[in-house]
Amino acid sequence: MFPEIDRFHKWLRCRNPHTSTHVHYKSDVKLFFAWAGKPPASITMHDVDAYVAHCCTLGHAPATVNRRLAALRAFYRFLSIDADDPPPNLVLHRRHAVRKGRRLPRDASDADLDKLFDSITSPRDRAIFSIMLHCGLRVCEVHRLSVANLCLSPLDGLPPSLRVHGKGNAWRTVYLSPEALAAMKAWLAVRQAGDDPALFTGRTGCRLSVDGIQARLGHYCRQAGIWITCHQLRHSFGRRMVEASMPVKSIQRLLGHRRLRTTQTYLYLADRQIQAEYDAAMDHVRRWLAPDAVLP
C-alpha cells in the first residue's frame, strides 16, 4: 500500500490521540485504494463517483459511505500540506455525499435490560454496564475512566458524579443514580489497588480495553438469551430521560452531544405529550364508534 497512507495515519493520531478516528480513517482510505488500484495522484472525480456507486450496490448504509468519503477527503487535505506537488481534492460533499434518512436510536426494551442485569454476577461488570445504562456513557468513555474521575462525596449537597472524557477531547459531568452508585461502591470494595489509575482493570491489572468491555457484554447476552450492544445501553438512557420529561438541552449535556438535533431524535422514541394526545384521540374514536355512544 502507498506510504502516504501510513503518514496520514500518524498525522491523524498525533492530532486526535484520544479518539479512534485515525484507526477508522486509515482503514477507509486503504479500502478505497485497494478498490481503485491507482495511486493517489491518478484518482479522478469519476473514480470517486464509481466508488460511491460501488458501496451503494454492496448495500452499505449512507452513514458508512459518507464516513469513507470524509476519510478520503481528509486524506487529500493531508496531502495538500504533506506533498510537494499535491493532487487536487476531488471528493466533493455536494456531489458525492449520500443523503441519509432520519434513523431512530436503537434502544433496548426494559424486559431485555432486566434479563441482562439478572445474568451479571461480577461487581466490576455490573458497575460498567450500570453506568452505561444509568449515565449514558459510550464504551470508549468507560474505557478511559480513571479512579480520579470519581466524585462519590461531593460538596454542597451535589449528587455523586463522574467526570467523563468524551468525543472531541471534551469533558462533561454525569451524575450517578442510586443503582449506579451502589454498583460502583460494590466494585470499589473488591477492586485491587495497583499502579494503573484505570477505574476498570482486567486480570492483568491493566486498563480494560474497549474490546474487552464489549466481549463481557456479549458473554452476558448469550447467557440471558438476548442481544444488546453497548450503544443500545446509552440509547436506553436517552429514551428513559425523555420518558421522564427531562428537558432536551439537559439530556444533550448529559449525553455529550455537540448538536441539539442529535439529542432530539430521542423525542421520536418516547414523547409523553404525543402519547397522551394519541390516547385521548383513540378514546374519542372508540366512543364515537360505540353503537350507543353519547359524545359530549
- Point out the catalytic residue in the list 25, 51, 76, 266: 266
Catalytic (active site) residue 266: yes
- In 3-state terms, what secondary structure has residue 269? coil
- Point out the catalytic residue in the list 24, 54, 163, 231: 231
Catalytic (active site) residue 7: no
Catalytic (active site) residue 38: no
CB-CB neighbours of 19 under 10 Å: 16
CB-CB neighbours of 180 under 10 Å: 23
- Point out the catalytic residue in the list 167, 172, 191, 219: 167
CB-CB neighbours of 189 under 10 Å: 8
Q: 3, 174, 21, 144: which is closest to 82 by C-alpha?
A: 3
- Point out the catalytic residue in the list 134, 138, 235, 240: 138
Catalytic (active site) residue 191: no
Catalytic (active site) residue 231: yes
- What is the dihedral sign for C-alpha 178, 256, 99, 20? negative
Rounded alpha-carbon distances, angstroms, from residue 14 to 38, 143, 183, 191: 27, 20, 36, 33
| 90: amino acid identity, one letter | L
CB-CB neighbours of 244 under 10 Å: 10
- Point out the catalytic residue in the list 73, 234, 235, 240: 234
Assigned C-alpha cell, 170: 471534551
Assigned C-alpha cell, 272: 409523553
CB-CB neighbours of 39 under 10 Å: 11
Contact 191, 201 (CB under 8 A): yes
Catalytic (active site) residue 167: yes
The residues annotated with a catalytic role in the active site are: 138, 167, 231, 234, 257, 266
